Structure 1
Amino acid sequence: MDRKRAVEEAIHSGEMEGAYVSDEFRNDANEFAQGGMSIEQLMQRAWRRNNHRAGMDAHAGESHAV
């Protein structure tokens, strides 16, 4: 299977399961599909983007009891 088809199927599968696929990820996935980055680079970008947001969300509802 080529990269473009793998990306399309992965995004479709995620959306069918209710996942939100951001424009940033779509842009990165398109760059990967065109051979502009490795799968490791694609994963790193997605991880950094989501880990950063998860950290912000986790702290937003956190109460600091002393």
Structure 2
Amino acid sequence: MDRKTLVEESIHSGEMEGAYVSAEFRKDADEYVKGNIPIEDLMRRTKRRWDPKRKKGAPHVG
């Protein structure tokens, strides 16, 4: 399965379950689809956004 299909299906599945998919995540996922970042970076960025120690509105690094 290609990256684009994988991301689209993952987002759709999450939304069907009631999950909120942020614009930040969509941007990072697009970078993954384009091959600009590996899956590990996508996961790291996603986890960082949900870090309770992160100041609200602070940009993620990476």
Same fold (TM over 0.5): yes
TM-aligned CA deviation for residue 23 of structure 1: 0.1
Mapped to 2, the partners of 1:17 and 1:28 lie a distance apart of 21
Q: Which has the larger radius of gyration?
A: 1
| 1:7 aligns to 2:23 (yes or no) | no
- Relative to its length, the structure with more helix (as a share) is 1
| 1:21 aligns to 2:21 (yes or no) | yes
Mapped to 1, the partners of 2:32 and 2:8 lie a distance apart of 12
Q: Extract structure 1 runs of 4+ deviating beyond 2 A.
A: none
Q: Percent identity?
A: 62
Let me know the Cα RMSD of the aligned residues: 0.9
Q: TM-score, length-normalised on structure 1?
A: 0.77
Structure 1, unaligned stretches of length 5 or more?
57-66
Mapped to 2, the partners of 1:45 and 1:20 lie a distance apart of 16
